[in-house]
Structure 1
Amino acid sequence: MSVTNRYREAWEGFWRDAPEGEGAVIWDAEPALTAERHLALFAPHLADPRLPLVDLGCGSGTQTRFLAGRFDRVLGADLSAAAVELARRSDPGERAAYERLDATDPAAVRALRDRIGDANVYVRGVIHQSEPADRRPVAEAVATLLGDRGRAFLVELSEAAKGVLGGLAGGPAGPPPKLRPVLAHGLAPAEVADAAFDDLLHAAGLTVLASGELPLSTTEYTPGGERIELPAHWVAVAPDGARRS
Structure 2
Amino acid sequence: MSASERYVRAWEGFWAENTGEPGEPFWDADATLTAAPHIALFAAHVDRTLPIVDLGCGNGTQTRYLAGHFPRAVGVDLSAAAVAHARRADRDAVAEFEQLDLTDLEGVRRLGDRIGEANVYLRAVLHQSDPDDRVPVAEAVSLLLGRRGRGFVVEPTAAAKAVLQQVAERPGGPPEKLRQVRKHQLRPAEVASGELPELLHEAGLEILDQGESDLAMSERHPDGTRVALPAHWFVVAVAEAVRPGS
8 A contact 2:154–2:234 mirrored in 1: yes
CA drift at 1:167 = 2.9
- Cα distance in 2 for partners of 1:170, 1:194 equals 25
CA drift at 1:175 = 1.4
| Per-residue deviation, residues 194-232 of structure 1 (Å, max 9, x unmatched) | 111100100000011111111111111112222111111
TM-score by length of 1: 0.95
- Cα distance in 2 for partners of 1:87, 1:183 equals 23
Percent identical: 57
- Cα distance in 2 for partners of 1:141, 1:171 equals 38
- Cα distance in 2 for partners of 1:190, 1:170 equals 18
What residue ranges of structure 1 are gaps of 5+ in the alignment? none
Partner of 1:83: 82
Structure 1 stretches of 4+ with a deviation exceeding 4 A read none
8 A contact 2:156–2:215 mirrored in 1: yes
- Cα distance in 2 for partners of 1:185, 1:156 equals 21
- Cα distance in 2 for partners of 1:65, 1:11 equals 21
What residue ranges of structure 2 are gaps of 5+ in the alignment? none
Partner of 1:26: 26
Partner of 1:145: 144
CA drift at 1:170 = 2.9
- Cα distance in 2 for partners of 1:229, 1:53 equals 25
CA drift at 1:18 = 1.3
Matched, 1:12 2:12: yes
Q: After the TM superposition, which residues 172-211 of structure 1 pair with which residues of structure 2 at under 5 Å, given as runs?
A: 172-211=171-210
Q: Counterpart amino acid of 1:24?
A: E
| Per-residue deviation, residues 71-104 of structure 1 (Å, max 9, x unmatched) | 1111001011100000000002110000001000
Matched, 1:44 2:6: no
Segment of structure 1 superposing worse, 88-97 or 160-169 = 160-169
Determine helix, strand or coil for the equivalent of 1:14. helix
TM-score by length of 2: 0.95
CA drift at 1:161 = 0.7
Q: Counterpart amino acid of 1:138?
A: V
8 A contact 2:3–2:101 mirrored in 1: yes
CA drift at 1:168 = 2.0
8 A contact 1:161–1:190 mirrored in 2: no
- Cα distance in 1 for partners of 2:187, 2:240 equals 34
CA drift at 1:191 = 2.2
How many residues in Structure 1 have an aligned counterpart in Structure 2?
242
